[in-house]
Structure formats: structure tokens, C-alpha cells
Structure 1
Amino acid sequence: MGRERTLWLLLPRPLRQFPADLTAVVGITLLTILVATVPVIRETPLRIGFGLVFVLFVPGYALVAALFPEKGERAVEESDVDRSGESGIDGIERTALSFGLSIAVVPLIGLVLNFTPWGIRLVPILLSVGGFTVIAASVAAVRRWELPAEERFAVPYRQWAGATRTELFEPDTQVDAVLNVLLVCALLLAMSSVAYAVAVPQQGESFSEFYLLTENDEGELVADGYPTEFVAGEPQSLIVGIGNQEHEPTEYSVVVQLQEVERTGGANDTGGEVTVNNREQLDTFQTQLDHNETWRQEHEVTPQTTGEDLRLVYLLYNGDVPANPTEDNAYRSTHLWISVAESESAAADES
């Protein structure tokens, strides 16, 4: 005990005198940063719990503490008339303002980050909101120290604990005892429900994203400007994209075909029936993705079949590819309508 006391006295005086509630605020901020960034812990429900408190309550509480360092109900002496308007706010108002200001401050910080090189990402948000909270808590501590001890705000932990103990274990009537038991049971049920909802979230719809992109002049990937004119034997590039939302690791296979088709009743993608007369398989490749992982790969298309209104088809399969891959047995598919001309050398040989 004496050794712990000695170590405590070795700390700087401002740290030893730092208010308990503001110490808790700074502690929650640091723990949230750790929980959100440490590889193993960030995958647990702790991240959600600490994150909600960090975003919805802690910044506002620190700001309220800096704005109102005095007690909520401060006695005003007759000789202190000119300070009578400085009375603080009570606990309920402080709590309500903490939620309200947090909801106001955090989006503003995000808006500022959006116009910086760092953008709205996890680490910049953690550091900016955490830095704001620590600075506000430090200002609150300094402002409290400037007030007389009897006027400083302090969370009445012992008073609350004593009142709770008396209410629960020393009720005035049997009715109060029954109501206390029901209240405790209701709180335990509510906490259990929240914990279960966080620990075992409902699984949403399972699906996979499958799409084609191109690269524009600025180097950005866009769903536009697809090549439609090809020359036999000459490659052109497309970007194949797959997004795994299956809630489990999934192995994907992609088959690329160039199809000669006959269309009746519609043009291109406007409807009608399409009959495939011939299929040229251009390529097959595989990849494995974890849940919520996205994969993009540049793919060079080098057709050999020539003709107009050919259909370049990408077929996506979960797992192995069947012996006869078609749009009907594919998990997902996407296509482009292209024309393939003969190369100059082939045309010269024919002539």
C-alpha cells in the first residue's frame, strides 16, 4: 500500500488532481482507439460498444464539461450578486447536452476531414474526434481548478451509490421492494438483449457483386466507355470486379466467352430472344475472397472470332465450373455487345 502511495505521489500534480469523470472520458477515448485498431480486438463486439459511446456521448460530455465547470445548483451569497447568473446545469441537462453536442460535433469534424488529404477514414476520425475530446477535457479540468473547491462540478459517485444501495436493500414498503426487483430484472433483460444483438447480429441478404469497369483518361475506374470495336488477335483491357457479401469465404470462378448469337424481337439489350449459335471460350480464372472483400483484376480480351453484334460474356460461378458453362447455370453474368474485325495481315492474305 505504501509503495502504491509513493508511485501515486510521483505523478505530476495536474494528473493527480485531474477530475475522475474527465479521467474516465480520456480513458474511454484511448481504449476506443485501441479496440478499433488492434487486429484481434477490432473484430469483437467491443468495437461496437466502445464506438457508440465514443461517437454519441464522450465528445459532447467533454465539451459540456468545458462550458459548464461549476455545479448545477450553486448557492449564491448576497455579496455575490454579480455572479448570480453563472449557475451551472444539473445532471439531467448535462447528460442530454452531452448526447446532443456529440451528435452535432462529430459530423462537423467529419465535414472538415472531407476537405483534407486524409478524408473520412477510420484512423483520421479516431485521431480527430479523440484529439478534440482530450483537448476539451483538458480545458474543462483547467476551468474547474480555477473555481473554488465547493463550486466545482463533480460526479457524486458515492452519493449515487449510497442512494442506490438504500433504495434496493432498504425499501420503505414491500411494494417498493417488488418494484425494485422488477426494475433490476428489466434492466438485466434490456442489457442482455443489447449484448445479444451486438454479439450475434442478424445476417443480411447473401449475394455477390459482379461487374465490369474501364479506366478513363484520369486513371479512374468507371462503368462507362466500354470498348465495342475489336480487331481479331489484338487485346483490349477490361477490369473485372467481384464483391463477396455471402457472409463466408467464397471461391469464385470466372469464364469468359465470345458468342455468336441470333437475336429476334429486340436489339441488343432491349428484349427479345437470343439464340447462341457458337461459343468461343477466351479465358477462365479463379479467386477466393473473404466476406466483405472486393477483388478487381485487369483482363485482356483477345478475340479470334470475327463478326458484328457478337456477345462478350463473363460468367461467375461459386466453386467449380460446370462442363458446359452457360448463362442459365451461372451464378452471375454480365456481357458487352462488340464487333470484331479481321486484322490487316489476315485481310491481306485473303486478298
Structure 2
Amino acid sequence: MTAVYEWVADLFVVTLLALAAAGAVFVGLTGPARIVVLMPMVLFLPGYAMVSALFPEGTPRSRSLRTLNRAQLDDPTGAGYRRIGPTERLVLAVALSLAILPLTAYALNFTPFRIATLPLVAILTGWTLLFVVLAAVRRGFVAADERFSAGSLVPSGVFGSFGGSTYSLLFVGSLLVLAASAGVAGFASPAQDQFTETYLVTEQGGNVTTENVGETARNGGTIQLAITNQEGEQVEYTTVVQVEQVQNGGVSSAETVDTFTTTVADGETERSPYQVQQSGGSNTRLAFLVYEGEPPSNPSRDNAYRVVHVWLSAPNGQQSLAAPSAEAV
């Protein structure tokens, strides 16, 4: 009789790896460790759980893929043909995982969550755990001598059922390379498209516009700092307002005149009104230095996350957007 731990050991390992992947995304794990933890979810886990639920029986005692002569089977009813061997089980696990990942991402595209790492991993984890439970239940109803156990994944001659270990290894290896490429692209760099956009606007006749921002600022009117959050999560921004003196294309002096915070949900835009009370002489501008979270003790253009400014003295009052210098990154 097969001990319980022998036929649920693989399901237990799959459960641990799935929960580890979900936990890594939830806590924001980054770097190579993130890739190592998430790769099994991309390559293997959802498909293996599904295959385990579909095929709870173990490897048939006698079967040849080169002939369909049922007289040669230990089971003349042909029930053995409805089972799969270790190599087929592993290959199907990889192939199904490759199919499940893009289909899940495609479905997410039509939900409010959009295609993002956290909801994607949450769905894949839920899918994996659901089929783990189904697999355990189905195996429980299979006779002990017919039930699949993890030890049968690496028997002697595991690749023999495919008619040649070389071709089997090449096939499995090709699938793994393809899956790894998709996994790295999907999970290794989740933040490459994340950004924050800042710009200055005014409100005229109930309409928001970027026109006449400079004229409004020089006349002591109210302008608005608009912040669009595409960072993948809610962010609290801190804006430091400075009056800058510009000489020879650089800032010769800067005085902080105000600080305020703005909380922006992911995918949303918030506008913060600012009543301009400053006036400047030649080459003077009002700069808005935007930070994620708390600003440093010495805020400047070099360490700001985003910078937008409006001239208080330029004849056309044009605004411009500037990124931090390379040294601040």
C-alpha cells in the first residue's frame, strides 16, 4: 500500500512554491530572487496541477507508443492508454503552463485590474491551488496500486516511453527555454512601464488648459499642478515649491516657499491648486519639485523625481518639464 505522503508529496511542494510566488509579489521582492521564486509559476506549477487533476493514475504497467496492439497490454481493456508516463506528464505541465499564462493575461486586460504582476500571480496561484485540491481528491479515489506517486516521476528509463531520451530531452529543453523567455519578460521587469507625469494647467470657463499658465502666474493667479500616477500603486507625492534665479542656463539660487502633499491612486490624475504670490525680477521662475514620499533635507532639481516650472519673468511665460540629472538616479 502506498503511504499518503508518497502520493501527496508533489502536490505539497507545488502548493509551497505557489504560495512563495504569491508572497514574493505581495511583499515586493525584487532582483534575481524575484525571478527565481516566480519562474516555477511561469514554467510549471499551473500546468502540473492541472495535469495531476486530469490524470490521477500512475504510469501504466505495460504500454508501447509504437503499437496499438492491445493484446500486448497487461490490461486488455485498453485503460492503460488513458494514462500518461512521467515524461508526458512533465511535458504537458510545461505546455499547459505556457498556454495558461497568456490566456490569463489576455483576460486581465478586460478587467479593472489590467495586466499587472500582482493580479496575474494571484489568479495563477488560485488556479494552481484549486487543481491541487482536485488532484488530491481524485488520487484518493484511485486504488493504491494504480495511484500516481511522486517517486514515479524519475524511474529508471524515464524517457524510454518517448522512444529515445535524446529527442525527449531536446523537446523538454526547448519548451523550458521558451517558457523562461516569456517568464523573464513578464515578471522580471514589472516596473519598466511605470512612470509619473507632471504638468501645470489653469482652469478657464470650467475647462482645464495648459494655455496662459505663465500669464496667470505672473498676474498672481491660481495655477494647478497636475500629477498623473502610472506607478502601479497608490502614491503619496510631496511637492516642494521653489523660486529659482537662473544665470547662464543654470540655477544660481533657489528659495523654498511652500510644501504640500498629494495622494494619487494608480491610473488617476489629481490637480493641486497653487495661488502664486511670488514675483521675480529678471530670469526668475517658479519650480515645482515632486518627490515620491518625503523629500530630502536639501531639495533640488538634481534629487527630485519630477520637475516642472513656469517663468515669472519670461515674456511668453512658457513652462517646461525637466527630469533629474543622471547623478540623482
TM-score with structure 2 setting the length: 0.51
* 2:199 maps to amino acid: L
- How far did 1:43 drift? 6.3
- How far did 1:300 drift? 1.7
Residues 1:53 and 1:135: Cα distance change in structure 2 (over 3 Å) = same
Aligned to 2:221, the other structure's residue is in SS state coil
**How many Å separate the matches in 2 of 1:275 and 1:159?**
70
**How many Å separate the matches in 2 of 1:137 and 1:57?**
13
Aligned to 1:115, the other structure's residue is in SS state coil
1:20 corresponding residue in structure 2: 9
* Aligned pair partner of 2:40 in 44, 48, 53: 53
Alignment of 1:258-337 (within 5 A): 283=257, 298=272, 300=274, 302=276, 314=287, 320=298, 334-335=308-309
Residues 1:210 and 1:336: Cα distance change in structure 2 (over 3 Å) = farther
* 2:287 maps to amino acid: Y
**How many Å separate the matches in 2 of 1:336 and 1:227?**
12
* 1:114 maps to amino acid: N
1:150-194: per-residue Cα shift (whole Å, max 9, x none)? 33332227966x99xxxxxxxxxxxxxxxxxxxxxxxxxxxxxxx
Q: Residues 60 and 101 of structure 1 are in contact (CA less than 8 Å); yes or no, is this contact kept in structure 2?
A: yes
Alignment of 1:127-142 (within 5 A): 127-142=122-137
* Aligned pair partner of 1:86 in 73, 76, 81: 81
**How many Å separate the matches in 1 of 2:47 and 2:148?**
16
RMSD of aligned C-alpha atoms? Answer: 5.4
* 2:92 maps to amino acid: L
Residues 1:320 and 1:107: Cα distance change in structure 2 (over 3 Å) = same
Q: Residues 200 and 225 of structure 2 are in contact (CA less than 8 Å); yes or no, is this contact kept in structure 1?
A: yes
**How many Å separate the matches in 2 of 1:88 and 1:254?**
70
- How far did 1:112 drift? 2.6
Which protein has greater RCO, CA pairs closer than 8 Å, 6+ apart? 2
* Aligned pair partner of 2:50 in 38, 55, 63: 63
Aligned to 1:19, the other structure's residue is in SS state helix
* 1:302 maps to amino acid: V
Structure 2: tracts of 5 or more residues without a match: 64-69, 158-194, 232-237, 262-269, 291-295, 318-329
- How far did 1:304 drift? 5.9
**How many Å separate the matches in 2 of 1:98 and 1:303?**
66
1:102 corresponding residue in structure 2: 97
2:188 corresponding residue in structure 1: none
Q: How many residues align?
A: 239
**How many Å separate the matches in 1 of 2:288 and 2:78?**
77
Of stretches 132-141 and 231-240 in structure 1, the one that deviates more from structure 2 is 231-240
Query: Is 1:144 aligned to 2:130, yes or no?
Result: no
**How many Å separate the matches in 1 of 2:275 and 2:154?**
75
2:19 corresponding residue in structure 1: 30
* 1:212 maps to amino acid: T
Aligned to 1:233, the other structure's residue is in SS state coil
Residues 1:51 and 1:297: Cα distance change in structure 2 (over 3 Å) = farther
Residues 1:55 and 1:225: Cα distance change in structure 2 (over 3 Å) = farther
2:210 corresponding residue in structure 1: 226
Q: Residues 313 and 336 of structure 1 are in contact (CA less than 8 Å); yes or no, is this contact kept in structure 2?
A: yes
1:6-28: per-residue Cα shift (whole Å, max 9, x none)? xxxxxxxx987862211211222
1:274-331: per-residue Cα shift (whole Å, max 9, x none)? 999xx997946599xxxxxxxx983625166599xx9856386987479xx9x9xx99
Q: Give the share of equivalent positions with the same residue, in percent.
A: 28
Q: Residues 253 and 320 of structure 1 are in contact (CA less than 8 Å); yes or no, is this contact kept in structure 2?
A: no
Structure 1: tracts of 5 or more residues without a match: 1-13, 164-208, 218-223, 245-250, 262-273, 288-295, 341-351
TM-score with structure 1 setting the length: 0.48
* 1:52 maps to amino acid: M
2:111 corresponding residue in structure 1: 116
* 1:71 maps to amino acid: G
